[in-house]
Amino acid sequence: MRALLVLFAAFFLMGQRDAILVPAVSQDEVQVRQGFTGTELLLYGAILDPRGQRGGAEYDIVVVLKGATEPITIREKDRIGGVWMNAQSSDFRSAPSFFAVAASRPVEEIVDERTAAIYELGTEFIQLSPTGQIDPEKQARFAAGLVDLRQRLGLYNEDMSGVTINEQVLYQARIQLPSNVITGEYTAETFAIFDGRVIASAIAEVEVRKVGFERLVEVFSQRFALLYGLLAVGLSVSMGWIAGRLFAMI
Amino acid sequence: MEDILPVYLPIANLSVNGFLIVLLGAVTGVLSGLFGVGGGFLTTPLLIFYGIPPTVAAASASTQVTGASVSGVLAHSRRGGVDYRMGAVTVGGGIFGAIIGAVLFRLLQAVGQIDIVINILYVMMLGAIGGLMLQEALVTMRSGGETTRKVRKRRHHPVIAALPMRWRFYRSGLYISPLAPFFLGFIVGILTMLMGVGGGFILVPAMLYILGMSGNVVVGTSLFQILFVTMATTMMHALTTQAVDIVLAGLLLLGSVIGAQFGTQIAMKAKPEVLRFVLAAIVLAVALRMLVGLAVQPDEIFTVAPL
């Protein structure tokens, strides 16, 4: 659907406004190592207009950075017998672990809602692929709950003035990655929008991965679970024993 | 806040203030040295409050309790304060309980009710034990601080006497069926797995009042049980939930092993009834805080779990 639309748009626009988007990311790999407290990604690039006209074209730029998607269950607490406990739940097949939108102007001023929904230009437009019984009202409530939850964790966010454009050619966007990001492949999609239409788009990839000791620990705990458990037990016993001996000497 | 000593936890997947975690370990360490409890009842909820995923908090807290109880066991065994036979039976029950606890954990997690069960267990256990301890401490303090409590008749609960197959437990001064301590260990094992606590605050009163063990081996034997059952719990978590964060456990241990030594020193100087009063107040405060958490609408009513 989306691919078709992009194709259609490309076909429609060919010849008249063949803008080209050249994107770049400050780093194509984010290394999560000891002392990692989050990082800032700089997504920048240029919009090139082959005809050399740039004065008249007021482009808008929207950048969407998305983490890997995973299937999830969202549970909603309700008051049952005076106690707040999980009651209803809803399943979604493709919830991104991270989702950030940065735009040069508020998205609703740039495009209509339909276009925004097609390109996922906002946290309310994330395509979560609900499964199970189709109850739009309930699904909307749960989707809003997910967005609110992950916004508090700094994992989903919108910055409607996060993109600056210089001379209608160069743009740059800054997106914060907090320390609790999930590792994996991240895709940064950049859209150049003119007159309510997406005229060019480009994708850049960023890999967030653990390195060094952090990676070692993670892999070790998964592949050699028994040894890892023994190591943890050994560490705690020896630390307790050493402390006991040290203080006995004092 | 995270600037003081940022430490990235590779299993919990987030960066924490290392100094705060060590401090938390130290506080629970002091408690364990003072009162002979593991301090897990404080660590797990505080870690969750800090933002550590609940499973990682429970798993890593049990690793910490192991370390905190090692020096206690050593000290008690040197002066003959551990009934190894009794300890072995309760450890057996405890490991069996931890296995059942792991199954229960999975089951409750699948239906999405693990958190509420943990919270209700905490409120019930801590409320009941804290209430009992507070009552006893107040009675002792009112009676002019006499250290001689009302002379307990060293007899166990009538149900215990009715159980078949009796063994002699010399150091405990008991001739009872091993089924009773086995069952006690079993219950504590389940709680250890579910709540990430050592269970000392249940074991000690139960050994005294239900089994009727002689007082001078109770703390040592309960620490012995806690030591081995938390080891088993750590292994169980490492193999099933894979939620043991060795960096988090290491930080907690660093604080708690040092704190435990200071706790032991303070314990030698302070009045026991005052200590018991303070512990009861802390336990009740934690229980009350969790009760409020259950009754008041939470800030965030949605939770996410991987499918």
Handedness of CA B61, B67, B68, B69 (dihedral sign): positive
A158 to chain B, closest Cα gap in Å: 20
Q: Are A233 and B227 in contact (CB under 8 A)?
A: no
- Is B52 within 8 Å of chain A by CB? no
- A 187-216: CB under 8 A from B: 210, 213-215
- Predicted confidence band of residue A250 (pLDDT cuts 50, 70, 90): low
- CB contact A80 to B (< 8 Å): no
- B296 close to A (CB below 8 A): yes
Provide the residue type at B173 as one letter. Answer: G
How does pLDDT run across B1-28, given as a tens digit for each residue? 445 788 888 888 888 899 999 999 998 8
Provide DSSP, A84-129: EEEEEEEEEEEEES-EEEEESS-HHHHS-HHHHHHTT-SGGG----
Question: Which among A248, A216, A160, A241 is positioned nearest to B264, based on CA atoms?
Answer: A248
Distance CA A73, CA A75 (A): 6
Chain B stretch 219-278, residues whose beta carbon is closer than 8 A to a beta carbon of chain A: 231, 234-235, 237-239, 242, 244, 246-247, 249-250, 253-254, 257-258, 260-261
Position A158 scores a pLDDT of 93
Chain B residues whose CB is inside 8 A of the A232 CB are: 63, 234, 238, 244, 246, 249
Q: Which pLDDT score is estimated for A52?
A: 61
A144 pLDDT band (50/70/90 cuts)?
A: very high
Complex ipTM more than 0.90, yes or no: no
What is the mean predicted confidence (pLDDT) over B112-141? Answer: 83
pLDDT band at A224; cut points 50, 70, 90: very high
Which pLDDT band, with edges at 50, 70 and 90, does A1 fall under? low
Q: Are B237 and B62 in contact (CB under 8 A)?
A: yes
Q: Tokens 């250890």 correspond to what residue?
A: B192
Q: Are B273 and B37 in contact (CB under 8 A)?
A: no
Residues of chain B contacting A95 with CB distance shorter than 8 Å: 304
Interchain contact, B302 vs A233, CB within 8 Å: no
Locus of tokens 């993670």: A218
Q: Can you give the pLDDT at residue B147?
A: 47
Residue of B nearest to A76 (CA): B302
Name the residue of chain B whose CA is nearest to A146's CA. Answer: B302
Q: Which of A138-142, B42-46, B48-52, B139-143 has the lowest mean pLDDT?
A: B139-143
- The answer, for A225 touching chain B at a CB cutoff of 8 Å, is yes
Query: Quick one: average pLDDT of A138-148?
Result: 91
Q: Please state, in angstroms and rounded to a whole number, the distance separating the CA atoms of residues B90 and B198.
A: 13
CB atoms within 10 A of CB B298: 11
- Assess contact for A191 and A203: CB atoms under 8 A: no
Instruction: List residues bridging with A24 in a β-sheet.
Output: A44
For residue B150, the model assigns a pLDDT of: 47
pLDDT of A83 > 70? The answer is: yes
Report the residue from B8, B63, B257 with minimal CB separation from A36: B8
- Percent residues over pLDDT 90 in chain A: 43
Q: What is the pLDDT of residue A71?
A: 93
- Tens digits of residue pLDDT in B263-307: 877 877 777 777 778 888 888 888 888 888 888 888 888 888 877
Of residues B11 and A51, more confidently modeled: B11
Out of A37-46, A54-63, B161-170, B286-295, the most confident range is A37-46
Q: Which residue, among A73, A83, A239, would best test binding to B if mutated, counting the most B CBs under 10 Å from its CB?
A: A239
CA distances in angstroms from B269 to A141, B34, B186, B263, B266, listed in the order given: 58, 10, 35, 10, 5
Q: How do residues B153-169 score in pLDDT, each as one tens digit?
A: 556 666 676 677 777 77
Q: Which residue among A34, A75, A82 places its CB closest to the CB of B112?
A: A75
Decide if pLDDT at A63 tops 90: yes
Output the CA–CA distances (angstroms, integers) from residue B295 to A75, A231, B46, B118, B255, in the order listed.
18, 40, 19, 15, 33
Query: Phi, psi (5° rounding) for residue B110?
Result: -65, -35
- Residue B198's pLDDT is 72
